[in-house]
Structure 1
Amino acid sequence: MNKLNFKGSVMLNPTPVVLVTSKSISNKINIFTVGWISTVCTKEPIIAIGIRPERLSHRYIKESKECVINLPTRSMVKIVDYCGVVSGKKEDKVQHFNLKLSDGVSISTPSLEISPIALECKLKSITPLGTHDLFLLEVLNVKVDESLMDSNGKICFNKANLICYNHGEYYGLTSKPLGTFGYSVKKQNKKSHKSIYKKDIKKQIK
Structure 2
Amino acid sequence: MNKLNFKGSAMLNPTPVVLVTSKSKSNKLNIFTVGWISTVCTREPIISMGIRPERLSYEYIKTSGECVINLPTKDMVKIVDYCGVISGRIEDKIKHFNLQLNKGVSISTPSLQKSPIALECKVKSVTPLGTHDLFLLKVLNVKIDENLLDSNNKIHFDKANLICYSHGEYYSLNSKSLGSFGYSIRKKNKAPR
TM-score class, shorter-chain normalisation, is over 0.9
Q: Does 1:70 align with 2:70?
A: yes
2:156 paired with 1:156: yes
1:187, distance to aligned residue in structure 2 (A)? 1.7
Residue matched to 2:38: 38
Distance apart, 1:147 and its partner CA: 0.6
- Distance in 2 between the 1:160 and 1:111 partners? 16
Helix, strand or coil at the partner of 1:59: helix
Task: Note if 1:111 corresponds to 2:111.
Answer: yes
Q: Counterparts of 2:106 and 2:190 in 1: how far apart (Å)?
A: 50
Say whether 1:93 aligns with 2:54: no
1:157-196 equivalence runs, <5 A:
157-189=157-189
Larger Rg: 1
Percent identity between the two aligned chains: 79
So what's the TM-score if we normalise by structure 2?
A: 0.97
The AA in structure 1 aligned to 2:71 is L
| Letter matched to residue 122 of structure 2 | K
Partner of 2:16: 16
Instruction: Give distance in 2, aligned partners of 1:189 and 1:55.
Output: 54
Write out per-residue CA displacement over residues 168-189 of structure 1, whole angstroms, 9 at most, x where no aligned residue: 0000013310001000001234
What is the distance in 2 between the residues matched to 1:188 and 1:115?
38
Task: Judge conservation of contact 2:120–2:139 (CA < 8 Å) in 1.
Answer: yes
Paired AA for residue 53 in structure 2: P
The CA deviation string for residues 82-124 of structure 1, in whole angstroms up to 9 with x for no partner, is 0000000100000000000110000000000000000000001
Superposition CA RMSD, Å: 0.9
Runs of 4+ displaced beyond 6 Å? none
Q: TM-score, normalised by structure 1?
A: 0.91
Q: Is the 8 A contact 2:164 2:171 kept in 1?
A: yes
Equivalent residue number for residue 79 of structure 2:
79
